[in-house]
Structure 1
């Protein structure tokens, strides 16, 4: 796995040069996170696919400014794709990243025959108390978030350290990202999606419960759903082998 920058975008990649004969998994992180969230996918799926995880503008190694809407974030992803020349892109987004993927599928359907939505929804409302906590006491917000969204058996020191590395240190990204999530709503447009979609949901996810994934699977015409047992909102890190296996099977 390598870390690099291109045209102002920071990213992780599973290989120095993408193979034009392979599909490219493009991983898009959630609110206040960065590309390191996807390390287990970038490295674990690299033997079968081109793998890339992007830092959204203003996050980690990517230049700013921060995007203030999911639509802007989707445009930034397209800008990165066009500048890097990635072949056969299959976007995979978690939470806010899933909202970005939905926006891409709706606005640019011909570019994405397949896509993966992980622990996300067609509407991403944020409780006012959560947004205020991110704004006023970011350290406390981060600590509370770990205990809120990760089921007790999964709360290991190793996972906490990995999540800390994959989370932005200042609260500017969190506040901007969460505000963008709160305004996002494509509920009525789901039947327009014509891509083949895998919906990955987590059994113990409190942030985006299973009913969110079921709605996506029911409303998107060519969607299938898999549930990762025992995991919470950060299932790609909590159970990376199972998460990766579902992706590999879907794209096989």
Structure 2
């Protein structure tokens, strides 16, 4: 696994040069996070796919400015894909990243015939108290988030440390991302999606509950749902082997 930058974008990659004969899994992080969230997928799936995890603008190694809408984030992802010359791209997004993937599928259907939506929804409303906490006491927000969204059996020091590394240290990305999520809504457009989609939902996800994934699977014409048992909102880190196995099986 290697860390690099291109045209102002920071990213992780599973190999120094993508194989043009393989699919490219492009992992897109959630609100206030960065590419390090996906390290288990970038390394764990690199033997069968090109794997890339992107830092969205203003996050980790990517230059700003921060995007203020999910649509702008999707445009930035497309800019990176073009700059990197990636082909056969399969976008995989978690939470806010899933919203970005939905926009890509709606706005550029021919470019993304397959996609993965993880622990996300067609509408991503944010409670006012959560947004206010991110604005006024970011340290407390981070600590509360870990205990709120991670099921008790998975609340290990190792996972907390890994999430700390994968979370932006400054609250500006969190506020911008959560505000963008709050205005995101494509509920009425799901039936227009023609891509083949894998929906991954976590049994104990409180942030984007299982019913969100079930709705995506019901409304998107060519979608299949897989449920990761015992996990919460951060299932790619909580149970990376099972998460990766579902992706491998999809192809």
State TM-score, norm by structure 2.
Answer: 1.00
The unaligned stretches of length 5 or more in structure 1 are: none
Tell me what 2:142 maps to: 142
Partner of 1:102: 102
| Segments ≥4 residues shifted beyond 6 Å | none
Q: How does 1:3-42 map to 2 (within 5 A)?
A: 3-42=3-42
Contact 1:25 1:92 in 2 (8 A): yes
For 1:86, the equivalent position in structure 2 comes to 86
Aligned to 1:192: 192
Aligned residues: 251
What secondary structure sits across from 1:184 in the alignment? Answer: coil
**Shift of the alpha carbon at 1:120?**
0.1
Matches within 5 A, 1:206-245: 206-245=206-245
Question: How big is each residue's C-alpha offset from its partner over 1:55-92, in whole Å with a ceiling of 9 and x where there is no partner?
Answer: 00000000000000000000000000000001200000
- Give the conservation status (yes or no) of the 8 Å contact 1:109–1:194: yes
**1:234 CA drift (Å):** 0.0
Structure 1 residue aligned with 2:153: 153
- Equivalent residue number for residue 246 of structure 1: 246
2:43 is matched with 43
Paired residue secondary structure (1:188): helix
RMSD over aligned CA atoms reads 0.2
TM-score (norm 1): 0.99
> For residues 69-121 of structure 1, what are the alpha-carbon distances to aligned partners after superposition, in whole Å with 9 as ceiling and x for unaligned?
00000000000000000120000000000000000000000000100000000
Rounded to whole Å, the distance in 2 between the matches of 1:197 and 1:100 is 14
Match of 2:72 in 1: 72
